[in-house]
Amino acid sequence: SWILSTSEHCLKGALNLGADPKRSSVVYAGIDLKVFRPNLDGNSYRKKIGVPLNGVVVSILGLALRQKVDTFLEALNLLGVGNQVYFLVGGVGEDFDYLKEKVEKLGMNRVKLLGFVSEEDLPSFYASTDILVASPKTIVECMGQSIKEAMACGKTPVVANIGGGPEAVSNMENGLLFEPGNSQALADALHLLINGSSWKRVGKNGSIKAGNYC
For residue 139, the enclosing domain spans 31-213
**C-beta separation of 129 from 150 below 8 A:** yes
| Alpha helix stretches (DSSP H) within the chain | 8-16, 43-49, 66-79, 96-105, 122-127, 145-152, 183-196, 199-209
Q: pLDDT tens-digit profile of 156-187?
A: 999 999 888 888 888 888 899 999 889 999 99
Domain count, the chain: 2
pLDDT of amino acid 139: 67
Please write down the HEC assignment for all residues of 46-107.
HHHHCCCCCCEEEEEECCCCHHHHHHHHHHHHHHCCCCCEEEEEECCCCCHHHHHHHHHHCC
Contact predicate 163/146, CB 8 Å: no
Q: Rounded CA gap, 102 and 80, in Å?
A: 17
What CA–CA distance (Å, rounded) separates 188 from 144? 22
> Is the same domain home to 68 and 135?
yes
For residues 39 and 12, membership in a common domain is answered with no
Mean per-residue pLDDT, 102-122: 89
* Distance (Å, whole) CA 90 – CA 122: 10
Q: What is the pLDDT of residues 24-64, one digit of tens each?
A: 998 888 899 999 999 899 999 999 999 999 988 999 887 65
Helix (H, G, I), strand (E, B) or coil at 42: coil
Domain co-membership, 167 together with 196: yes
Write down the pLDDT at residue 62: 75
**Is residue 138 scored above 80 in pLDDT?**
no
**Domain at 94, CATH number:** 3.40.50.2000
- Check whether residue 25 and residue 39 sit in a common domain: no
* 152, 208: one domain: yes
Looking at residue 212, its pLDDT comes to: 63
Decide: 156 and 131 in contact? Cβ < 8 Å. yes
